[in-house]
Amino acid sequence: MVALPKLYVARLLPEPVMTVIRERFCLTAAPQVGAPNRTALRDGLREAQAAICTLTEGIDGDVLKAAPHLRVIANYAVGFNNIAVDEAKAKGVVVTNTPDVLTEATADLTWALLLATARRVPEGDRLVRSGAWTGWEPTQLLGADVCGKTLGIIGMGRIGRAVARRAKGFDMPVRYYNRTTLDPSTLNDQWRPTSWQEVLAGSDFISLHVPLTAETHHLIGSAELRLMRPTAYLINTTRGPVVDEAALVAAIQEGRLAGAGLDVYEQEPALHPGLRTLPQVVTLPHLGSATLNTRIQMGMICVQNILAVLEGRPAPNRVA
């Protein structure tokens, strides 16, 4: 019998994915719940020909050095800022991600966060459960209108466009800023490309969908927050370090921004102390792609990419 390829799986994935993985591969370590520490990561990778890692595993040059047999890393995420892709490339290790299958789930979650922030949904939930609710009240928990307001999108890629599509149901004009100029024939002609200044100054809700790179680190800082309307809300479901959290807290505390809906943080899972206490901030624990169906599809894509590389075929979702 031919030996099965050796695979390191950093985290326990949904059961249908684990079933396929156990049939097709020999695991170098028992997949765990919770992020592996560096020693466990290096141990798991030592004999591995392939790996499935998640966004919490930092794969840098040192980790790659400890993995001499590695041919492919399938990142269980569309974002791959956790991997030193240039070093992987230099070592001949293919890196893949999981685009498309998580686009709609992440766009849905972005809207959940936008609506929850504007209409103070978590505050309302806390009030009812606390037993302190005394009944309907004309001035209780008044929020902001969503319908008809302007939605600004920064990073008009797969998820940015899926978020924009949903704005139609809320009669919201969409304006966007993207680093490169996009071919208008690929976009809805109701979506207006705008300058950097205009997307910040002219939107009621600003939603971030750029990848985290050296260029987008603290893309939204003190200067950008000062351009936004004091009635505006910032929604971030991309990566925490795209926003300078200290500047965001200051802007909300000083009344320069109405609030923020956050799924991601600069130092996950740590929270900036200001974010913990501000009622105008809604916080979710990085749930963008967290539906069972999406998480199963992400796993299947990782398996397909790994099998392609090990069988000498091009990986469908190669990023490096």
Which residues contact ligand NAP by CB under 6 A? 78-79, 99, 102-103, 106, 154-160, 177-180, 209-212, 215-216, 237-239, 263-264, 286, 288-289
Amino acid at site 228: M
Task: Name which of ligand NAP, ligand GLV, none residue 157 binds, using a CB cut-off of 5 to 8 Å depending on partner kind.
Answer: ligand NAP
Q: Which is nearer to ligand NAP, 25 or 76 (CB)?
A: 76
CB of 288 to ligand NAP, least distance (A): 2
170 C-beta neighbours (distance < 10 Å), count: 16
- Which run of H or E residues covers position 73? strand 72-75
Q: Which is nearer to ligand GLV, 257 or 303 (CB)?
A: 303
Figure out which of the listed residues 102, 153, 164, 303 binds ligand GLV, where binding follows CB under 6 A: 102
Pick from 137, 134, 52: which is nearest to 97 by CA?
52
Enumerate residues 33-72 that contact ligand GLV by CB under 6 A: 55
- From the candidates 175, 239, 272, 295, give the one annotated as an active-site residue: 239
Q: How many CA atoms lie within 13 A of 220 on its CB side?
A: 34
| Rounded-to-integer distance, Cα 70 and Cα 48, Å | 6
Crossing angle between the packed helical segments 292-310 and 15-24, to the nearest 10 degrees = 20
Spell out the alpha helix ranges (H) of the chain. Answer: 15-24, 38-45, 61-65, 85-90, 103-118, 121-130, 158-166, 196-201, 222-227, 245-253, 273-277, 292-310
268 as an active site residue: the answer is yes
| Rounded-to-integer distance, Cα 224 and Cα 258, Å | 15
Task: Name which of ligand NAP, ligand GLV, none residue 6 binds, using a CB cut-off of 5 to 8 Å depending on partner kind.
Answer: none
Would you count residue 200 as binding ligand GLV (CB under 6 A)?
A: no
**Which of these ranges, 76-84, 121-129, 177-185, 191-199, lies near ligand GLV under the rule CB under 6 A?**
76-84
Would you count residue 288 as binding ligand GLV (CB under 6 A)?
A: yes
239 as an active site residue: the answer is yes
CB of 291 to ligand GLV, least distance (A): 12
168 C-beta neighbours (distance < 10 Å), count: 11
Contacting residues toward ligand GLV, per CB under 6 A: 55, 77-79, 102, 288-289
The residues annotated with a catalytic role in the active site are 239, 268, 286
